[in-house]
Amino acid sequence: MGKPAADPDVIRIGNCSGFYGDRRSAMREMLEGGRLDVLTGDYLAELTMLILGRDRMKDPSLGYAKTFLAQIEECLALALERKVRIVANAGGLNPAGLAEKLRKVAAELGLDAAIAHVEGDDLLPRAEELGLGAPLTANAYLGAWGIAACLDAGADVVVTGRVTDASVVVGPAADYFGWSTTDYDALAGAVAAGHVIECGTQATGGNYAFFTELADLGRPGFPIAEIRADGSSVITKHEGTGGSVTVDTVRAQLMYEIQGARYAGPDVTTRLDSIALSQEAPDRVRIGPVIGEPPPPTLKVSLNTIGGFRNEMEFVLTGLDIEAKAELARRQLESWLPVRPAELDWTLARLDRPDADTEEGASALLRCVVRDPDPNKVGRGFSNVAVELALASYPGCTFTTLPGNGSPYGVFMAGYVDAAEVAHIAVLPDGTRVDIVPPTRTAALEPVPEPELPRPLPRGATRRAPLGEIALARSGDKGGDANIGVWVRTEEQWRWLVHALTVEELRRLLPEVGELPVTRHVLPDLRAVNFVVSGLLGEGVAYQARFDPQAKGLGEWLRSRYVDLPVDLRRVSA
């Protein structure tokens, strides 16, 4: 096992980054704020891999999260002094390159730091052979055992490429408690804890539906998972930091970017429908124990390609005859274009209101987005025509910004390969390379049958009110799909929600869903339903199919929609 933690029964794992670009000072804040055994950071997302891929195209020595390197330069001495190990996926497309940079930083600072990394996720050289096409990036989601091997060898800092977000938490816990690859319940508990803290301050009140209940959301602290040998955990934060840790802030993060009741990973499949939450004390929420099952036999692969080139123009329409003004602008621009792009999409946002007392309040926005494999078809040819409308179109014609030359956009797809085809390698501090053996027990991922539903509430008087008066929600993206998790606090509210919020009702409340495939998953122990809307986000966040390309506000839109609520159902305190 690696370096001992302060408490033999609990390993205390913090988080200091939920994405590439998160709070720069968080690493120091977490190291100075109180006791930790391990500090983790999640720097990778589907969009980030595309950004790093473009970095690598310009300079093959790049491809990692540069902000992490700056944070380590500032905080490595403090981490070593406090005996806090650091584990992060900041290596991106070049974990070996980042590890080498870290060694140089440590040497320049006069520090004796053991640096290790995990590699093998990069499948780009074999993409065609594995049936993955010809992408810009191709990275398999590795698990926790390479991290555990590095820590077991005494690493102070471990950087990885594309691992699952929870793996940076599971690896330290597995190493500390000596779990085996078949300790599925313990592994699943650590996955749940990792999933909660992976997005940083979203676990301490950030992006939380009932945010007005929180006393201090000015600058939320980053979360901590105290994990025990059975995988159960307590989610908390450093004393004196902002935000709150409640059952609902934790439940919100559990509902984020999930699909069904089985949450598949490379090491274990976590049964989300087995999770129980309880408020142990202020800012302390207990999770678990959790049920785990063998992982699926395949690994998910993140595939990013350059889909083509994109440009956009946004017109401001003010006052009367908004629809007619929009139609004139559309007709003119399309007929003036020298060549029509492959895709030309219009969106009219009716933000105007009658008899407005400000010009902005009287204005709507008309957005035109063009895409094409040929940059010339969405470049100056499009921009020049759009600008030429300024004195020749509807009254009051103006723009929010002037269009440019167009820029490349990315497309995300998920691929799958047999786990045995992927080399998962731990490169220890002394340079020794250790092959991580793939799981010997696997189970194909099957949907969980819908559980028996509680009996519905008796019919009675109703009132028109927003769904969000009683329901909380969290939404997000998985490639081109969007998920919307919705939950309530009381058993009576649950008896109403699970029968009222059907797929058909979701389509009625969110007309933009249209006829897209929608799947509903019921999670009774969380009093939650989760919807997966396939294809709502086109070909991923970089494609920008909607003005909210990551579906972050989709749940809030749903909460704002009016439904027939039973008169006795009211918002209750946590």
CA 541 to chain centre: 11
DSSP track, 93-140: T-HHHHHHHHHHHHHHTT----EEEEE--B-GGGTTTTT--S-SEEEE
Cα separation, 167 vs 148, in Å, equals 10
pLDDT at position 16: 98
Domain ranges of the chain: 10-296, 307-411, 462-566
CA atoms within 13 A on the CB side of 513: 24
**What token pair was written down for 82?**
């406090």
Element (H, E) at 325: helix 322-336
pLDDT at position 5: 55
In this structure, what DSSP letter does residue 219 have?
S
Cα separation, 325 vs 352, in Å, equals 13
Cα separation, 44 vs 50, in Å, equals 10
What pairs with residue 462 in β-bridges? 566
Mean pLDDT by 10 residues, the chain (574 residues): 68 97 97 98 90 89 95 98 98 97 98 98 96 95 98 98 98 98 98 98 97 92 98 97 97 94 97 96 95 98 93 96 98 95 96 96 96 93 92 96 85 95 97 96 93 94 97 94 97 98 98 96 96 94 86 97 96 85
Place of tokens 């078949």: 182
Overall CATH class of domain 307-411? alpha beta
pLDDT at position 418: 97
DSSP track, 137-192: EEEE-B-SHHHHHHHHTT-SEEEESSB-TTHHHHHHHHHHHT--TT-HHHHHHHHH
Instruction: Count each helix (H run) and each strand (E run) in the chain, helices first.
Output: 13, 26
Task: Identify which of 251, 192, 193, 209 has the alpha carbon closest to the alpha carbon of residue 527.
Answer: 251
Report whether the peptide linkage leading into residue 289 is cis, meaning its omega lies within 30 degrees of zero: yes
pLDDT at position 573: 84
Cα separation, 452 vs 193, in Å, equals 27
Phi, psi for residue 255 in degrees, rounded to 5? -85, -5
CA 30 to chain centre: 21
Element (H, E) at 208: none
pLDDT at position 546: 85
In this structure, what DSSP letter does residue 211 have?
G
Cα separation, 109 vs 76, in Å, equals 9
Element (H, E) at 478: strand 472-478
pLDDT at position 541: 83
Domains 307-411 and 462-566 share a fold: yes
Q: How far is CA 573 from CA 148, 246, 470, in A?
A: 41, 12, 10
Q: What is the CATH number of domain 462-566?
A: 3.30.70
Q: Is 535 left (phi over 0), alpha (psi -120 to 50) or beta?
A: left
